[in-house]
Chain A
Amino acid sequence: MATKPQQKMDARFIAIKVLLRVLKNGESLSSAIPNEISNLDERERPLLQALVYGVLRWRWQLESILKKYLKKALKAKDLDINIILMLGVFQLLWLRTPDYAAVDGAVNSSLKIRKKWAKALINAVLRQLIRERDEINYKDTLEAEFSHPQWLIDKIKYDWPEQWQQILSEANQAAPMTLRLDTRQMEVADYNELLNEVELDAEVAAHVPGALILKQPADVSRLPGFEQGLVSVQDAAAQCAAPLLQLAPQQKVLDACAAPGGKSAHILQTEPALELDAVDISESRLQRVAENLQRLGQQANLICADISQPEQWWQGQQYDRILLDAPCSASGVIRRHPDIKSLRRESDIAELVATQQQILDVLWPMLKPGGLMLYATCSIFRVENEQQMQHFLQRMTDAEEIKIAAGWGHEQKVGRQILSGEQQMDGFYYALVRKSI
């Protein structure tokens, strides 16, 4: 048997394939897009991004709209048709794609995946929607209103009874592109002028020295001095780590779970004359650390190992500083990774909490008496953050918290919490502990 030769790929069709990888295979967006994008014309890439991020971000609203127009739910094996419909609705209501183009694109997609039977269904649903688009109420449930799965809404509401609505709506906004300037090379105000010269507009972050928030995302090739290592791309919340570590020359420092290396680079930028071990479990992600450090002309010992198995990688020499950017639910960075809302399961949380605890316990003996450990997550859940560290301080009699004083975030019983979108930062948690002498 032979199949029709593939026509040139368009963004709408590649978007279906990317979304199938995420919603059917459970692949993350950051792996699904590179796996499909090679078939796509360079000029179509922004549209692909808009489509896949948009559908994953607004999925619960899109599904609530579709539910009204579908006489019966689609079968699980017709997830592709469901995706085609969501893409169609998203284009009609969010992107304001011309009606005929959205409908035609959706119908053609169904033919390309050889599901001719769906043609009439797609036509009927999208055309009815076009007729009624001004009257649609798609905020009839909390899931639809905030476009998050119910368990996530419940959990955020429970943890943040005052701020949950704000958190959820911030999580649906696209995150800004934030730069980290090497302030030893240049003042922030001077770099801001360089940006203006290439017609980029940035805002200086109020409480994070060296952070500049771009008004519009731009390709890194447009950033003055990027190749030379003058600036890096990193959210302002992540830029809070290195300054908290009180770095000094000759210190021996561990960055556990280092990939993709932004914080490692920041540590070395802050204090180049220290010895840094950067550990990560993934060889391919450690490769990204290597690339990042190379661009900045920095040196670290890159170690590919499971951090919780020290006999595999630790030489037995204690550290002055440990940064543990722990594996977490990533509930604070949903605005950057909307696929988290579809991929994360409620049952994952307990497992993550156990992993975090295990790593904390393994790392603690590796810290010198008098040394500092900074625990960080990009989560907003108390079990992973404040409660995790409360338990830690109870377990370790030789650990004492050092309160973080800063213009960002909220002081917790232990540590400091940034909520998603506050001061345009990602949701992040930091707790600093010292080992008694």
Chain B
Amino acid sequence: MAILPILEFPDDRLRTVARPVEVVDDQIRAVLDDMLQTMYDAPGIGLAATQVNIHQRLIVIDVSEEKNQPLYLVNPEIVGLQGIEEMDEGCLSVPGIYETVQRADRITIKALGYDGNVFTLDAEELLAVCIQHEIDHLDGKLFVDYLSPLKRNRIKKKLEKQRKQAAS
């Protein structure tokens, strides 16, 4: 397993729309393993393949406190949305920024698991928000897109400044 480098906003590669996975084989499972390790290391509660510059529809998530309940989603699709939830979100590709985003608070999804078998899952609250956040990544979308252009620009400047400081 390996820890992969995470792309950061406003990197254009984060705008790539990921392709569906054809078959869940050992190669895909190896990518999922690396992604999980990268996510735990960051630390984050969800990571989409797009963020590590792999443009296939793969997501890893773990919202448990003990970090022992990994969830693997391959080719996830949202089949049901209900309710409204507001939550402070952050993103490993937008480090150190937390903003309130409105999303559905209960969702039903269909996806393939680590074993390649299809399953459906009802999720609510944090897990529901996290899944929506990660599926956005696969579609080339970031949580900052939900903010006003002014706010988004300010975040962009702030991150550029941070990077400059880190480099010098």
Contacts and interface: CB of A to CB of B under 8 A. Distances in A.
Contacts of A117: 85-86
Interface of A: 1-4, 77, 111, 114, 116-117
B45 interface: yes
B124 A2 contact: no
Given A1-B44, A1-B45, A2-B92, A116 B100 contact: yes
Interface stretch (B29-37, B125-133, B148-156): B125-133
Contacts, number: 41
Contact of B44 (A2, A77, A116): A2
Given A2-B42, A2-B44, 18 more contacts: A1-B44, A1-B45, A1-B90, A1-B91, A1-B129, A1-B130, A1-B133, A2-B43, A2-B45, A2-B90, A2-B95, A3-B90, A3-B126, A4-B88, A4-B98, A114-B87, A114-B88, A116-B88
Nearest to A6: B65
A374 B3 CA distance: 63
12 contacts: A1-B91, A1-B130, A1-B133, A2-B91, A3-B126, A4-B88, A4-B90, A111-B88, A116-B86, A116-B87, A116-B100, A117-B86
A77 B42 CA distance: 30
Contacts of A1: 44-46, 89-92, 129-130, 133-134, 143
Contacts of B42: 2
A117 B100 CA distance: 11
> Which of A1, A2, A77: most chain B CB closer than 10 A?
A1
A3 B101 CA distance: 13
B24 to A, nearest CB: 23
Contacts of B125: 77, 114
Nearest to A116: B86
B147 to A, nearest CB: 15
Contacts of A4: 88, 90, 98
A116 B92 CA distance: 22
A14 B95 CA distance: 27
Interface centre among A3, A4, A77, A117 (most CB of B within 10 A): A3
Interface of B: 42-46, 85-92, 95, 98, 100, 124-126, 129-130, 133-134, 143
A116 B98 CA distance: 13
B124 A77 contact: yes
Contacts of B134: 1
A39 to B, nearest CB: 10
Nearest to A114: B87
Contacts of A116: 86-88, 100
A28 to B, nearest CB: 20
A3 B133 CA distance: 12
A140 to B, nearest CB: 34
A116 B86 CA distance: 7
4 smallest A-B Cβ distances: which pairs? A2-B90, A1-B46, A1-B133, A2-B44
A77 B91 CA distance: 26
A117 B125 CA distance: 13
A1 B126 CA distance: 10
Contacts of A111: 88
Nearest to A117: B86
Contact of A114 (B91, B95, B126, B143): B126
Nearest to B48: A1
A74 to B, nearest CB: 14
Contacts of B44: 1-2
Residue from the set A77, A111, A114, A116 with the largest chain B CB neighbour count within 10 Å: A114
A67 to B, nearest CB: 24
B74 to A, nearest CB: 18
Contacts of A77: 124-125
Nearest to B130: A1
A212 to B, nearest CB: 42
A3 B98 CA distance: 8
B131 to A, nearest CB: 9
A116 B88 CA distance: 8
A117 B88 CA distance: 11
Contacts of B86: 116-117
A77 B124 CA distance: 10
Contacts of B130: 1
Contacts of B88: 3-4, 111, 114, 116
Nearest to A17: B65
Contacts of B91: 1-2
A114 B85 CA distance: 9
A111 B98 CA distance: 13
B113 to A, nearest CB: 20
A38 to B, nearest CB: 12
Nearest to B97: A2
B50 to A, nearest CB: 13
Q: Which of A2, A4, A77, A117 has the most CB of B within 10 A?
A: A2
Contacts of B92: 1-2
A123 to B, nearest CB: 16
A116 B95 CA distance: 22
A116 B43 CA distance: 23
A27 to B, nearest CB: 15
A3 B45 contact: yes
A342 B69 CA distance: 29
